[in-house]
Amino acid sequence: MSLTSGLWAGEVTEGEKLFALKVKPLFAEKCHACHGDDPDKIKGDFNMLTRGALFKGGDSFAEEVVILGKGEESFLYLVTTRKEKDFEMPPKEADRLTEEEQGWIRDWIDHGAPWPDDKRIALIEEKYAEGEVVATSQALSADWQNRRYETTQLWAYRPLNAPDVPAGKNPIDWFIDKKLAEAGLEAAPDAEARHLIRRMSFNVTGLPPTPDRVKSFASAYAKHPGDAVKALADELMATPQYGEQFARHWLDVVRYADSAGFANDYTRPNAWRYRDYVVRAFNDDKPYNQFIREQIAGDEIDPADSEMLIATGFLRMGPWEQTGMSVFKETRQLWLDDVTDSVGQTFLAHAMQCAKCHDHKFDPVPTRDYYRMMAVFSTTQFSEREAPFLEEENRTGFAQSEEWVKAKIAGYQDQHARLLAKVKAQKTQESGEAKVGNNGLDPGDEASMSRLSKNLSRHKWELDRTRPIAFSVYTGNTIPVKSVSKRILLPNQPWGKGTMEQDRILAGGSAYSPTDPVTPGALSAAQSLGRMETHDFPAGRGSRRLALAEWISDRENPLTARVMVNRVWAWNFGKGIAGNPNNFGGTGAVPTHPELLDYLARWFMDNGWSVKKLNQLIASSELYRRSSRHPHPSQVRERDAKGRLYATLMPRRLTAEELRDAILWSSGELNLQVGGIPARPDINTEVALQPRQIMGGTASVYEPDTKPEHRNRRSLYAEKVRGLRDPFLETFNQPGPDKSCELRETSTVAPQSLTLFNTEEMQERSVAFAARLLAAGLNDLKTIDKAFELALGRMPSSSERSTCLKHWQAATQEEQGKIYKPKEFINWTERTVMAEKTGEPYSFIEFMPAFRNYEPDTQMADVDARTRGLSQVCLVLFNLNEFSYLD
C-alpha cells in the first residue's frame, strides 16, 4: 500500500471514516434504489448520489435535510428513526435501519457530514475497514462485490474448527456443560425412566413403548442409566420404524407428495418408491454423502440400478404441472427455480431464491451463483423410467390397488360410453348467429363428458402405480411439451430432439430476459472461505449433476456436514444448534454451540457419514437423558432466558403423524407393515365427498381402502394429495407439501379439540381400544390399569383409577338399552357442481367401488353397552394432555 501525500493530506477524521465505512454503503444498500440509481425515477426529487444533491433536499424537505453539526435535528436522520409520520424511511419495515445504523447518520452529520472522494474512500477502506470482503463469482454490481460482511455472519462458510475434547469425556456433554458452567447454571437431573423411554421411543420410532419394555427399561435404568439408554437406543434404531420416523423428517424437508398439485393435481403414481427409498436409506444407514449423490445424480451414477433412478425422484418433489393452458417456457423455468432452491435449502441450508433477481441482500451469494447452480440442472429432464422392483421393495396390495383402479376406470368408461351414445343421439347443429348452446344437449351432460375424460386420464395414469417405473430424470436436450397427462417416456436419443438450453443470468428472474452467459457451478463463497479445492463442472453434455453432488459431498465443503448434523440434532432435541436448519445465512440464527456443531460435523464425516452412529453418540451423552423439568425453574429463567443452554430438554407435543399412529397403536389397530403403495385411510367423510375443482371438471371422489389393515397403516404411508389434505393431520400442523419444512410448528387451536373429541374416526378408535382391553378378560380395575399402561405408559393413581371406573360405570348405564344401527356403506354418491358452460348447477352420480366390499372398523353397533361405556374413558385418555405431550 502506498500512500501518496496528496491524497492522504491531513489525518482521516472520524466523520470521513464514518462516511466511507458506514454511511456510504448504507446509502447504497438502503436508499439509492429510489434516490439515485435510476436518474429518471428519483422519488420525491431527492437525489442522494452526491453531497450537493443531497444537501439540496427534495420535494418534501429543503435545507433541513442536513443541518451541519445537528444530527438530531436533521431530517435525513429523523426519517430513519421512523418517528416522522408518513416519512418513515426506508419505507419497508423489512429494510428499517437498526438504531446503530441510524446513529451513524446522526453522528456523521454531527461531524460536519464530510464526503471524501472515491480515491480517498478507497484508501480509508484499506486502512480502517472492519469485516471481510468475500471472494465470490462475479456480482451484478461492483458495490456488492466489494461489500464487507460481519465476521460472525460468515461462520457457516469457514472450515470446520473443532477443538479437541479431553480423553474420556463425552464430547456433547463437554461442550454443553462448559457453557452451563459459564452461566453458573446447573443441569437438570436425569429424567424419570418412564418419561425417558416414552420420549426416546417417540423420537426414534414415532411410536410409544410397550408396557413390558417400560418395566424392563426402568429396572435396567435404575442400575446403569448410561448402559440402559444405549441398549434401548440401539434396539429402537434396529427396528424398521426408526427409518420411517427419520424418513418423515427428511420428507418434510423435500416436500414429499403423491400428486403434482395445481390445476389438475394429477397423481404421481410412482413417487412412493422414493418415499420408501428414504426409509431404506435411514434403516440401512446409507452413508450420508452417498445419500446426497444418489438423490442429485443417481441416474448419472448408474442408470441400470433401480435404486439410483428412484433416488432422483428428489429432484421432482415440488409441485409442477404442464397443461394446455400453460406456457412451457415458464413451467420449465418454474422447475429450474424450484430445484435450485430446493437443493440449496436441503443440502446447503441456503434459500437460493433470495439471489434469483438480485445479488443476495445479506449473504455472499451473488445472482451469478444462483444461475451457475441452475445451469447444473438445465440438461436435466423428466421421465418416468423403467426400473425393475428391488427385492427390498414391498409389493403387497398391488392386486387390490389394481383392482380398485380398474374398477374406477371401468365405472367411468361405462358412464362415458352411455353418455357418448346419448350425446350422439341428441346433438343437433347449432343454429343461427347466436350460438349459445342450443345444440340439443343437456349442459350437465356436456360437463360430464369433460369431467369423465379428465378422471379417466388420472386413473389410467394411476395404473402405473404398481408397474416397475421410477419417478425420475435423465440428462439431455429440452423438448417442449404442450401438456402432460401421462408418464413421460425416456427418448431413444436424449440429445436428439429438442435443444440444449442456454445458461444465462435472467434479469429480474424472468425467463424472457436472458443476459450474461454462465457455466455450471455452485456457491462460490463456500469455495473461497471454506478453502475448498476447485472442482470442475462440466458443461455441454457432461454429467453436471454428478459434479454438483461431488462438490456438495466433498469433505471440505464447509456447509454439508454442518447442515446434516444440525438436522439430526434438531430431530433429537426439537431445535437445532443453529436455529434455522434450512438457513445458515446471515438471517438465520447463529449456532448456540458452534464448537459442538463443528466437532459433530467432523466426527460425522470421520465415522463414515453414518446417521445411526451420530444418533448413538448423541444417545451416549448425559444430555440425552436429561429431564425436561428443572428443580429450580427460576434459576433457569434468570440465567438462560432464551433457553439456549440445555439445562433441561424441551418437552414437546406429538406431531400429527405420531398422534394418529399412537392412537392406532393403543387401540391395537395399527398395521406395522413397512413401505409399499400409498394407503388410503378413512378421512372425514364430508371432506372425502367434498367436490373439488380441477381443470375441466371435478376431481374424482376420495375413497378409502377396503380393508382396515390397509387403512390403518402408519401415517407416513397415507396418500398425500396436494389438493386434498387429511383434515386430521392438517389440523395438527402437518406442513403443506409445497414448501420445505425445517421443523414442525406446534399451535393450539380449537379445531384440534373438535377433531380429537368429535370425529367418527376417534369414536371408532375408542371403541376398538375398549374392545381390545375387554378381550383380555381382566377385572374392571385391572382393565383401567391396562388402559393407562397402553395409552400413557404408566399405571393410574388410585384416585385416577376410581374416577375412571366410575365414569365407565355411569357411561355403561347410559348405554344400556341404546340401539345402534350398523353404518351403511353405499357405493355411489351424488354430487352437485356448477356446469362451466351454463353457470347452472348439475348433479351426477359417482361410483365408489371401494364400498362394494368395504370392511368397516369396529363400530358402536358391534359392541355391548359395557364396551361402549369403556370407550368413553378411552376417548378421554386419547384427549389428555399427557397423551399428546412428551416430558
Partner 1 sequence: MNHSYASLNRREALYGLGAGLGTVALNSMLKAVEAGATTGVAHHPAKAKRCIFLMMEGGPSHIDTFDPKPDLTKHHLKKFKRSGDMESAMSSGDRYFVKSPFDFIKAGRSGADISTEWHYLKEMVDDMCFYRGAQVDSVNHPTACYQLNTGNRFGGDPGIGAWVNYGLGTLNENLPGFVVLPRTSYPQGGAANWSNGFLPANFQGTPLRPTGSPILDLNPPQGVTRERQRKNLDLMSTLNKEHLGHRPERGELEARMNSYELAYRMQMEVPGILDFAGERKSTLEAYGIGDAKTEAFGRKCLLARRLVEQGVRFVQAYAGNWDSHDYIERAHGSLIRSVDKPIAALLGDLKERGMLDDTLVVWCGEFGRTADNGMRGGSTSYGRDHNPKAMTMWFAGGGTKAGHTIGATDEIGAEAVECVHHIRDVHVTLLHLLGLDDNKHTYYHAGRHKQLSQFGGQVISELLA
Place of cell 356403506: 825
Binders in 556-595 for partner 1, by CB under 8 A:
575, 579-580, 582-583, 585, 587-589
Question: Pattern 8-47, binding to partner 1, x per CB under 8 A?
Answer: ----------------------------------------
Applying CB under 8 A, among 478, 671, 746, 809 the residue interacting with partner 1 is 746
Residues 466-485 close enough to bind partner 1 by CB under 8 A: 480, 482
Map residue 416 onto helix, strand or coil: helix
Nearest to 384 by CA among 469, 493, 485: 469
- The residue from 1, 167, 750, 776 that contacts partner 1 (CB under 8 A) is 750
Tell me which of 294, 462, 742, 857 binds partner 1, using CB under 8 A: 742
Say whether residue 882 binds partner 1 (CB under 8 A): yes
Give the CA count within 13 Å in the CB-facing half-sphere of 716: 33
C-alpha cell recorded at residue 341:
432452491
Which of 832, 845, 852, 864 touches partner 1 by CB under 8 A?
Answer: 832
Selection from 553, 546, 596, 607 nearest residue 573 by Cα:
596
Instruction: Tell me the per-residue interface mask from 159 to 198 with partner 1, x by CB under 8 A, - otherwise.
Output: ----------------------------------------
Q: Which is nearer to partner 1, 776 or 819 (CB)?
A: 819
Rounded to a whole number of angstroms, the minimum distance from the CB of residue 573 to partner 1 is 13
Looking at the DSSP bridge assignments, the partners of residue 840 are 835
Single out the segment in contact with partner 1 by CB under 8 A; choices: 5-13, 405-413, 792-800, 850-858.
792-800
Q: Which of 75, 109, 73 is nearest to 89 (CA)?
A: 75
Q: Can you tell me which of 486, 692, 707, 786 binds partner 1, judged by CB under 8 A?
A: 692
Instruction: Give least dist CB 882 to partner 1, A.
Output: 5
Binding mask 410-439 for partner 1 (x = CB under 8 A): --------------------x---xxxx--
749 interacts with partner 1 by CB under 8 A: yes
- Write the CB contacts of 468 (distance below 8 Å, at least 6 apart in sequence): 306, 386, 387, 388, 389
The total of other beta-carbon atoms located within 10 Å of residue 330's CB is 12
Q: Does 684 sit near partner 1 (CB under 8 A)? A: yes
Interface residue with partner 1 among 167, 325, 641, 826 (CB under 8 A) is 325
Is 395 one of the binding residues for partner 1 (CB under 8 A)?
Answer: no
Q: Does 219 bind partner 1 (CB under 8 A)?
A: no
Burial class (CB in 10 A: 0-12, 13-18, 19+), 79: buried
Please, which of residues 488-517 interact with partner 1 by CB under 8 A? 512
Q: How far is the CB of 746 from partner 1 (least distance, A)?
A: 7
Q: Would you call the peptide bond into 90 cis, given omega within 30 degrees of 0 as the criterion?
A: yes
Q: Using the structure block, give the residue that is written with the C-alpha cell 377433531.
A: 755
CA dihedral 555, 560, 563, 564 (to 10 degrees): -70
Smallest distance, Å, CB 738 to partner 1? Answer: 4
Grid cell of 554 as nine digits: 466433498
Distance CA 321, CA 332 (A): 9
In angstroms, rounded to a whole number, what is the distance separating the alpha carbons of residues 694 and 687? 16
836: its cell numbers: 362451466
Which residue's CB is nearer to partner 1, number 159 or number 437? 437
Burial of 516 (0-12, 13-18, 19+ CB in 10 A): middle
Residue corresponding to grid cell 360405570: 809
Interface with partner 1 by CB under 8 A: which range of 155-163, 220-228, 550-558, 827-835? 827-835
Residue 516 phi, psi dihedral angles, 5° rounding: -60, 140
Q: Which helix (H) or strand (E) holds 195?
A: helix 193-205
Contacting partner 1 within 90-119 (CB under 8 A): 91-94
Nearer to partner 1, 673 or 690 (CB): 690
What's the closest the beta carbon of residue 330 comes to partner 1, in angstroms?
Answer: 8
Closest approach of partner 1 to the CB of residue 360, in Å: 10
Q: Please, are residues 409 and 456 in contact by the beta-carbon 8 Å criterion?
A: yes
Minimum CB distance to partner 1 smaller for 223 or for 821: 821
Instruction: Using CB under 8 A, pick the residue from 698, 706, 715, 734 that binds partner 1.
Output: 698
The answer to the question of residue 651 lying near partner 1 (CB under 8 A) is yes
Q: Under rule CB under 8 A, which residues in 49-88 are in contact with partner 1?
A: 88
- Does 260 interact with partner 1 (rule: CB under 8 A)? no
Work out whether 694 is an interface residue with partner 1 (CB under 8 A). Answer: yes
Segment lying near partner 1 (by CB under 8 A), choices 53-61, 222-230, 459-467, 745-753: 745-753
For the chain, the maximum distance between any two Cα atoms, rounded to a whole number of angstroms, is: 106
Pick between residue 7 and residue 845 the one whose CB is nearest to partner 1. Answer: 845
* Grid coordinates of 386: 423403467
Q: Is residue 879 close enough to count as binding partner 1 by CB under 8 A?
A: yes
Rounded CA gap, 416 and 453, in Å? Answer: 8
Nearer residue to partner 1 within complex by CB, 73 or 430: 430
Give the phi and the psi of residue 185 in degrees, each rounded to 5: -115, 135
CB of 688 to partner 1, least distance (A): 11
* Residue 833 found at the interface with partner 1 (CB under 8 A): yes
Residues 546, 551, 556, CA angle at the centre, nearest 5°?
Answer: 150
Phi first, then psi, for residue 721 (nearest 5°) are: -100, 125
- Least distance CB 699 / partner 1 (angstroms): 9
One residue of 485, 803, 812, 829 binding partner 1 per CB under 8 A: 803
DSSP 616-667: HHHHTSSGGGB-SS-S-HHHHHHH-TT--S-SSPPPEEPPHHHHHHHHHHHH
Question: Contact, 348 vs 454, CB < 8 A?
Answer: no
Judged by CB under 8 A, the stretch of 46-54, 267-275, 656-664, 794-802 that binds partner 1 is 794-802
Q: Is 295 in the site for partner 1 (CB under 8 A)?
A: no
What 563-567 contacts at long range (C-beta under 8 Å, 24+ apart), as own/partner pairs, is 563/347, 563/348, 563/349, 564/288, 564/604, 564/609, 564/611, 565/597, 565/600, 565/601, 565/604, 565/614, 566/349, 566/591, 566/597, 567/249, 567/253
Specify the stretch interacting with partner 1 by CB under 8 A; choose among 170-178, 271-279, 600-608, 800-808.
800-808
Q: Under the phi-then-psi rule, with left for phi > 0, alpha for psi from -120 to 50, and beta for the rest, what region is 257?
A: beta
Min dist CB 179 to partner 1, Å, is 19
> Do residues 297 and 333 lie in contact, with contact meaning Cβ atoms separated by under 8 Å?
no
The terminus-to-terminus CA distance of the chain in angstroms comes to 62
Distance between CA atoms of residues 850 and 707, nearest Å: 9
| By the rule CB under 8 A, 801 interacts with partner 1 | no
Which residues from 705-724 bind partner 1, rule CB under 8 A? 722-724
| Whole-number Å distance between alpha carbons of 506 and 514 | 4
**Size, binding site for partner 1 by CB under 8 A:** 111
When binding is defined by CB under 8 A, the residue of 725, 827, 829, 851 that contacts partner 1 is 725
Distance (Å, rounded) from C-alpha 767 to C-alpha 773?
10
Measured from the CB atom, the residue of 528 and 690 that comes closer to partner 1 is 690
Interaction between residue 655 and partner 1 (CB under 8 A): no
- Closer residue to partner 1, CB minimum distance, 241 or 580: 580
Dist. CA 380–CA 470, nearest whole Å:
15
Cα(162)–Cα(360) distance, integer angstroms: 29
Phi, then psi, of 133 in degrees rounded to 5: -90, 135
Per CB under 8 A, 662 contacts partner 1: no
In the list 860, 863, 870, 886, the residue contacting partner 1 (rule: CB under 8 A) is 860
Q: Which of residues 332-371 bind partner 1 (CB under 8 A)?
A: 334, 351, 354, 362
CB of 807 to partner 1, least distance (A): 5
Q: Which is nearer to partner 1, 467 or 807 (CB)?
A: 807
Under rule CB under 8 A, which residues in 598-637 are in contact with partner 1?
A: 629, 633
